[in-house]
A and B are shown apart, each in its own frame.
Chain A
Amino acid sequence: MDRRDFLKSTGALSFAIALAGDKLELVSAANAATGQKINAWVSIAADGTVNILSPGAEMGQGSMTSLALIVAEEMDADWSKVKIEFAPAEVNVYGYTFQNAKGMAIVGSRAVMLYFNDLRTAGAQVRKVLVANAAQKWGVDASSLTTEPGFVVDGSGRKLSYGEIASFATVPSPLPTVDKSELKTKDQHRLIGKATPRRDIPAKVNGSAQYAMDVQLPGMVYATVRHAPVHGAAPESWNEAKVKAMKGVIRTVKLPDGVAVIATSLPAAMAARNALEVKWNKGAAAGYDSEAALMKTYEQVHADPAAKTQTLEAKGDAKAAFSNAAKVYKAEFRSDYGYHAQMEPLNAVARLNDAGNHIEVWEGTQDPASSRTAIADAIGFKEDQVTLHQCYMGGGFGRRSLGDYSAEAARIAKEAKRPVKLVWTREEDMQYGMFRPQSFQCLQAAQDASGKVVGWSHCVVGDGGVLLQTGIRPIYYQIPNTHIESRGTSHGIRLKHWRGVGHVFNVFAIESLVDQMAVDANMDPIEFRLERMNPTPRARAVFEKVRDLSNWNTPRPEGRALGVSVSERSGSLGAGVAEVSIDKSTGKIKVHKAWVAVDGGLVVQPEMARRNIESGILYGVSSVLHERVTIKEGAVQQSNFHDYHVLRMSDIPETMEVAFVDRDAAPSGLGEIGNPWVAAAVASAVFRLTGKRLYHMPFTPERVKATLSA
């Protein structure tokens, strides 16, 4: 049901709260119904139904539910009467403010963190208006009234339901302000911090959840694309006649980076794609060999004084710290390209209107606002000529925030002049992926005479700019002298944020070097961090918590060892312990158990957050042990799940435990705190078992075997 229908069908809707520009505005139902462009966060119907728009793009992390729940909490709504819909792609209305800009991108696991204050203020304002209206009706002072879920109540037991109030309420302009002190405190929460079920789950067990993949439109045709195998190449010519003659094929469409086939069915389009023979021009990635770059070129870039260098942090006097050091440690680490492998291959549905001046696109997107822009740009439209319908995402993990495939669907629909469902094959999704960059890391640490780490340098080399740089500052340690830099080169390979971004390989390097120093000092690795790394109080707390959680000091079964590591991400901090064994004859590593202690401030939906962090742990284990994209002659070598191995049920740890540090602070991001710690913890455990350290992730059996026999 769209919101307009909702308004019509309830009839008695009497007010709506809208965010206009930076301010919340309360508008009357009359205004809402008479076409004045109103976008309400909250509408209340006479029957008590509360409609909350959620800007939380839903890719499995649960934000759709938790953002609505934050509003419902402050307004004291009856959760059973709350209905949730996706907010429209209107960034000025529904965007959060981050780094001085408006955005709707649900990335960096920051949905709850960035929307928390706006949404609870909105909820509190709704509650205030409801209370004021009840007070007026009863002729009492508003301060004598309280609320319980769905009702305003007074001391004598009189009650008015929110629905009843909605039928007579008037709305002050401007809206009542809400002081921070009026917001609920933690002990007053009825919904936040409780195990409230996710709203999207029932539809996900009966097949009714709508992904863009599932959208069906009258007269719809199907398209798929063959993209340039060498990233950056464009099509010059192709066997149009042969392909067009194939059964069900309607036509082909030239795209900037590929050739689309439109057909009456998807299997027909896919068969035609397989039959396409395309002549490509020379792409940016022509001739590129990823292994040669990683094993050789990056070392040259690192050694080249003329290389493009960006200093990311320079604290104190790192040079002096190293020249005065009692001991200096050095290590180099490498990490391969990673692929998102979300289960739903990229797809979008597009429909141009008959007049050819408006397009609707159905997409599951992490960033509806960017999608709208990308679609408009692709077909020469203004943004107000684009309507974006948000759908559930079959996984996102950072891949789905550009709108590139919905822009592609729009281009194709414009040519087809019919509604088109564009579906990438898994092979396209993988080979024309946007990857977590590969990287080469050089680290040094300086210890003073007491063994304390007082100097730190870290250089990351690769292609990817900011994608290389996140997580490189070890902000959980208070090291007085640091020099941190990145050195860039370019390969023309498509790159993208990948759950945890640069944290994945940067934390691997940082925490592996710390472990190396702990081993050398003959100290317990947690003790070493607490004594020698000068951790922040928050870091100390998560280390201590995970030490207890994992029974760190209890001996493990023969053949197993523990490794520990820490990571920050989007304001959260997490320390993890992995219990690991290794089959030395095959090089196969097994993670048996994992424990993570997380400081994420206030946890809005603890059960959901726990699952999200568990998801991160497995994403981490999968990438650390298996996942690897390689590129030869500019083309990706892997093509489907048979040669890009992701974790399966037989690979999972026996148990995972997640615990939250209780800290009274605003929520921070939790979706990516689960994976970046895994690599160093596993590598450190392997060192305990074998005396050999792994410096290159993923730790595939072949690579591990080679390390063990070296």
Chain B
Amino acid sequence: MVRFTLNGKPVSAQSEDSTPLLWVIRDELKLTGTKYGCGVAQCGACTVHIDGKAVRSCVTTVGSVKGAKVTTIEGLAPNASHPLQKAWIAEQVPQCGYCQSGQIMKAAELLAANPKPSRTDIVSHMDGNICRCGTYHRIIAAIERASKEA
């Protein structure tokens, strides 16, 4: 059993320590906003925060987050009020939407450390997150908007 904090609440996972955090979050703790895309840290759809740092939950074992603060898209901000979530709506970013939880979580890490990122900063930070619908330009625009409005 692994105890950690999930979106501000203490939880205990029954899954074995070696289980990828992704499946613990989705199937055991029933928060399905975090997505499975590749299983090998190649696409970023499963991105969550561990103590504020964006990580790929598909290759992170639940055992490794013992005592840590894990944040998913559901817990990023109360009522989806994070400046990025608002900007994502304003810019109408998502198409199929499947990668967007991961995109937003990755972008939130950037803005927390660098509130006024340049386009180059944005691209180099976001480059590991694949969006097959090709919403990249809108993602950039939304991050820039959130950066201005935050």
- A-side interface residues toward B, CB under 8 Å? 59-62, 197-198, 200-211, 213-214, 216, 222, 265-267, 270, 341-345, 392-397, 423, 425-426, 607-608, 611-612, 614-619, 622, 640-642, 646-650, 652, 655-656
Given the known inter-chain contacts A206-B85, A267-B19, A619-B134, please indicate yes or no for A394 contacting B34, CB distance below 8 A.
Answer: no
Contact B136 A207, beta carbon cutoff 8 Å: no
Contact B98 A206, beta carbon cutoff 8 Å: no
- Give chain B residues whose Cβ lies under 8 Å from the Cβ of A213: 32, 35-36
What 1/0 flags go to B84-104 for Cβ under 8 Å of A? Answer: 010011001111111111001
Contact B98 A649, beta carbon cutoff 8 Å: no
Contact A649 B127, beta carbon cutoff 8 Å: yes
Q: A200-B94, A343-B45 are in contact. List 16 more A-B contacts (CB 8 A).
A: A197-B89, A197-B92, A207-B31, A207-B33, A266-B27, A270-B39, A341-B132, A342-B98, A343-B131, A611-B95, A615-B134, A640-B38, A641-B38, A646-B132, A649-B136, A656-B137
Is B57 part of the contact surface with A, judged by Cβ < 8 Å? no
User: Within the complex, what minimum Cβ distance (angstroms) separates A641 from chain B?
Assistant: 4
Report the Cα distance A680→B30, complex, angstroms.
47
Q: List 23 A-B contacts (CB under 8 A).
A: A198-B92, A205-B88, A205-B100, A205-B104, A207-B31, A207-B32, A207-B33, A214-B26, A265-B15, A270-B39, A343-B96, A392-B97, A394-B35, A611-B92, A611-B135, A614-B134, A614-B137, A640-B42, A641-B38, A641-B40, A642-B42, A648-B127, A650-B127
Report the Cα distance A216→B139, complex, angstroms.
30
- Give chain B residues whose Cβ lies under 8 Å from the Cβ of A652: 134, 136-137
- Give chain A residues whose Cβ lies under 8 Å from the Cβ of B89: 197, 201-202, 205
- Give chain B residues whose Cβ lies under 8 Å from the Cβ of A426: 37-40
Contact B43 A641, beta carbon cutoff 8 Å: yes
User: Within the complex, what minimum Cβ distance (angstroms) separates A196 from chain B?
Assistant: 10
Is B74 part of the contact surface with A, judged by Cβ < 8 Å? yes
What 1/0 flags go to B124-143 for Cβ under 8 Å of A? Answer: 10111111111111111000
- From A207, A222, A392, A656, give the contact of B73 (CB < 8 A): A207
Contact B40 A205, beta carbon cutoff 8 Å: no
Report the Cα distance A265→B130, complex, angstroms.
26
Is B11 part of the contact surface with A, judged by Cβ < 8 Å? no
Given the known inter-chain contacts A205-B80, A206-B73, A267-B23, please indicate yes or no for A211 contacting B98, CB distance below 8 A.
Answer: yes
Report the Cα distance A696→B140, complex, angstroms.
32
Given the known inter-chain contacts A201-B94, A267-B19, A343-B96, please indicate yes or no for A617 contacting B134, CB distance below 8 A.
Answer: yes
User: Within the complex, what minimum Cβ distance (angstroms) separates B79 from chain A?
Assistant: 8
Report the Cα distance A342→B85, complex, angstroms.
23
Count chain B CB atoms within 10 A of each CB in A201, A208, A213 and give the residue with the most: A201
Q: Which residue of A lies closest to B100 (CB)?
A: A204
Given the known inter-chain contacts A344-B96, A612-B95, please indicate yes or no for A647 contacting B134, CB distance below 8 A.
Answer: yes
- From A216, A270, A655, give the contact of B32 (CB < 8 A): A216
User: Within the complex, what minimum Cβ distance (angstroms) separates B74 from chain A?
Assistant: 5
Report the Cα distance A59→B26, complex, angstroms.
22
Report the Cα distance A59→B94, complex, angstroms.
11
Q: Which residue of B lies closest to A653 (CB)?
A: B137
Report the Cα distance A423→B26, complex, angstroms.
13
- Give chain A residues whose Cβ lies under 8 Å from the Cβ of B135: 611, 615
Contact B96 A392, beta carbon cutoff 8 Å: yes
Report the Cα distance A59→B85, complex, angstroms.
20
Q: Which residue of A lies closest to B40 (CB)?
A: A640
Contact A61 B95, beta carbon cutoff 8 Å: yes
User: Within the complex, what minimum Cβ distance (angstroms) separates B59 from chain A?
Assistant: 12
- B-side interface residues toward A, CB under 8 Å? 15, 19-20, 23, 26-27, 30-40, 42-43, 45, 72-74, 80, 85, 88-89, 92-101, 104, 122-124, 126-140
Contact A204 B94, beta carbon cutoff 8 Å: yes
Given the known inter-chain contacts A267-B19, A423-B36, A650-B123, please indicate yes or no for A394 contacting B130, CB distance below 8 A.
Answer: no
Q: Which residue of A lies closest to B81 (CB)?
A: A206
Contact A342 B132, beta carbon cutoff 8 Å: yes
Report the Cα distance A392→B97, complex, angstroms.
9
- Give chain A residues whose Cβ lies under 8 Å from the Cβ of B93: 201, 205
Contact B94 A205, beta carbon cutoff 8 Å: yes
Q: Which residue of A lies closest to B16 (CB)?
A: A247
Report the Cα distance A266→B38, complex, angstroms.
14
User: Within the complex, what minimum Cβ distance (angstroms) separates A102 from chain B?
Assistant: 27
- From B20, B35, B88, give the contact of A343 (CB < 8 A): B35
- Give chain B residues whose Cβ lies under 8 Å from the Cβ of A200: 94, 97
User: Within the complex, what minimum Cβ distance (angstroms) separates A611 from chain B?
Assistant: 7
- Give chain B residues whose Cβ lies under 8 Å from the Cβ of A202: 80, 89
Report the Cα distance A650→B88, complex, angstroms.
20
- Give chain A residues whose Cβ lies under 8 Å from the Cβ of B138: 611
Report the Cα distance A423→B34, complex, angstroms.
15
Report the Cα distance A47→B127, complex, angstroms.
47
- Give chain A residues whose Cβ lies under 8 Å from the Cβ of B37: 343-345, 426
Given the known inter-chain contacts A213-B32, A213-B36, please indicate yes or no for A343 contacting B130, CB distance below 8 A.
Answer: yes
Contact A207 B34, beta carbon cutoff 8 Å: yes
- Give chain A residues whose Cβ lies under 8 Å from the Cβ of B99: 343, 394
- From B26, B96, B127, give the contact of A60 (CB < 8 A): B96
Report the Cα distance A54→B23, complex, angstroms.
32
Report the Cα distance A618→B36, complex, angstroms.
23
User: Within the complex, what minimum Cβ distance (angstroms) separates B67 from chain A?
Assistant: 22
Q: Which residue of B lies closest to A650 (CB)?
A: B127
User: Within the complex, what minimum Cβ distance (angstroms) separates B15 from chain A?
Assistant: 7
Contact B80 A649, beta carbon cutoff 8 Å: no
User: Within the complex, what minimum Cβ distance (angstroms) separates A574 from chain B?
Assistant: 16
Report the Cα distance A61→B20, complex, angstroms.
32
- Give chain B residues whose Cβ lies under 8 Å from the Cβ of A614: 134, 137
Given the known inter-chain contacts A216-B30, A615-B133, A652-B137, please indicate yes or no for A343 contacting B40, CB distance below 8 A.
Answer: no
Count chain B CB atoms within 10 A of each CB in A202, A210, A267, A396 and give the residue with the most: A267
Q: Which residue of A lies closest to B94 (CB)?
A: A204
For the complex of A and B, 4 pairs with smallest distance between CB atoms? A207-B33, A394-B98, A618-B134, A60-B96
User: Within the complex, what minimum Cβ distance (angstroms) separates A208 from chain B?
Assistant: 7
Given the known inter-chain contacts A205-B88, A607-B92, please indicate yes or no for A344 contacting B130, CB distance below 8 A.
Answer: no
- Give chain A residues whose Cβ lies under 8 Å from the Cβ of B124: 650
Report the Cα distance A231→B73, complex, angstroms.
38
Report the Cα distance A216→B28, complex, angstroms.
10
